[in-house]
Amino acid sequence: MTPARQRRATAPRPRPGTPRPQPVRVTALGGGQGLSASLSALRRLTTELTAVVTVADDGGSSGRLRSELGVLPPGDLRKALAALCGDDDWGRTWSEVIQQRFSGNGELHGHAVGNLLIVALWEKLGDPVAALDWVGRLLNVQGRVLPMSAVPLDIEALVRGHDPAEPCRITAVRGQASVASTPGTVQSIKLLPELPPAVPEAVKAVDEADWVVLGPGSWFTSVLPHLLVPELAKALAETRARRLLTLNLAPQPGETEGFSPQRHLEVIADHAPGLAVDAILVDERAVTGGAFGVADLAGLDKAAARMGAALVLDRVARADGSPRHDPELLAAAYDRIFRTHGRIGPWR
């Protein structure tokens, strides 16, 4: 049966005296600003929250530390930790401190304080997961941050029209920063080294979740890489958790320029044909005259149905018109989906 599109489903109110339910266990996958937006929303809903973060960044401070020290790129991990900081003075202060970048003209120029803190603990402890847990305790974050792999990864994309003079030629473009800003149209990606090992704690977090949330974020460099790590892909396919995919609010210049909403879903299906998704959250204004124009909702429904998912339209964008998710609205949308559709097992 084709899943019906849903518009802001409401959940029944609990009866007075009903015992408080256990916090929903959520594992969020992604990287960069997209994952930060998701985490900022999810920490409002649960204390049982784990972020599994991409480790393919090769630009800026992260790229320099990775090149000079051979460590995992810490930038996306830092952003996830900052997003999980509380709204009290402690949380706001530490969130700002770890995001602070050094200025000046010396060797520290451009480095984020949090990147250096994370790398220092990695060198001291020799364990990337333990070091991130230590940083989390220092910041008093709500949740846990894990790398998806214990080895630094590279992204290689096949891009059509990378050279404007040869619009039909397919070119291999390597490196997260290069792929994110490439001219032309990204056709597919792969990870290098291929078949990288997953961090066991990340696999466990997917296995034990009630909900796994994928996206929003840079589609080819933050969202898709998780599906190309074999142990994570297997865990996503076999987990009893329900799976929620959050669509971006707009095409991204470089990576997904000109992509329709359904093309975003087709890219996921092409890279992970066996992945079943339970719900796909879409901002209704983005697909009814917003950044995507007037989208083909029937086609979007069909693309969602091919992934086994119900399409959930809601309002999750900031009111200022920028292509950014509003944490409060996104939290409310996640809460409605979690409450309406429960925790474990198929509901489609």
DSSP assignment of 236-251 equals: HHH-SBEEEEE--SSP
Asked whether the predicted pLDDT for residue 14 surpasses 80, the reply is: no
**DSSP strands (E only) in the chain:** 6-7, 26-30, 49-53, 144-147, 154-160, 170-174, 185-192, 211-214, 242-246, 279-283, 288-290, 293-294, 310-314
- The pLDDT tens digits for 201-243 are 999 999 999 999 999 999 999 999 999 999 999 999 999 999 9
Average pLDDT of the segment spanning 138-159: 96
Q: Are residues 98 and 243 in the same domain?
A: no
160 with 280, same domain?
Answer: no
The reply to whether 215 and 314 lie within a common domain is: yes
Three-state secondary structure of 142-159 = CCEEEECCCCCCEEEEEE
Answer yes or no: do 34 and 102 share one domain.
no
- Give the mean pLDDT of 93-104: 92
Which pLDDT band, with edges at 50, 70 and 90, does 344 fall under?
Answer: low
Q: Give the total number of structural domains in the chain.
A: 3
Residue 347 is predicted with a pLDDT of: 42
CA–CA gap between residue 75 and residue 5 (Å, rounded) = 37
pLDDT attached to residue 188: 94
Model pLDDT for residues 45-86, shown as the tens digit of each residue: 999 999 999 999 999 999 999 999 999 999 999 999 999 999
Q: 17 pLDDT exceeds 80?
A: no
User: pLDDT of 248-296, one tens digit each?
Assistant: 999 988 889 889 999 999 999 999 998 999 999 999 999 988 888 888 8
Question: Averaging pLDDT over each range in 3-12, 143-152, 266-275, which range is the top one?
Answer: 143-152
pLDDT, tens digit, 9 for 90 and up, residues 20-50: 568 999 999 999 999 999 999 999 999 999 9
Pair 138, 179 in one domain: no
The secondary element (H helix, E strand) that includes residue 113 is: helix 113-125
Pairing assessment for the beta strands 242-246 and 279-283 based on DSSP bridges: parallel
Which has the minimum average pLDDT: 13-17, 80-84, 146-150, 286-290?
Answer: 13-17
Helix (H) or strand (E) holding 233: helix 230-238
Query: Mean pLDDT over all residues of the chain?
Result: 90
pLDDT value at position 171? Answer: 94
How far CA 53 is from CA of 7, 32, 281, in Å, comes to 30, 8, 20
- Residue 278 shares a structural domain with residue 218: yes
Instruction: Answer yes or no: do 140 and 175 share one domain.
Output: no
| Model pLDDT, residue 343 | 59
The long-range contacts involving 299-302, CB below 8 angstroms and separated by at least 24 positions, are 299/260, 299/262, 300/261, 300/262, 300/265, 301/2, 301/3, 301/5, 302/2, 302/262
CATH number, domain of 323, equals: 3.40.50
Percentage of the chain exceeding pLDDT 90: 79
Host domain of residue 37? 1-12+21-50+194-348
**């999750």: which residue's tokens?**
316
Q: Tell whether the model's pLDDT for residue 185 goes beyond 70.
A: yes
Query: Does residue 184 sit in the same domain as residue 326?
Result: no
Pairing of strands 185-192, 154-160: antiparallel
Show the CA angle centred on residue 130, arms to residues 127 and 132, nearest 5°.
105
Do residues 238 and 94 share a domain? no
- β-pairing verdict for 288-290 and 279-283: unpaired
Do 344 and 206 share a structural domain?
yes
CA distance 223 to 227: 8
* Same domain (yes/no): 218, 101: no
What's the longest Cα–Cα distance across the chain? 69
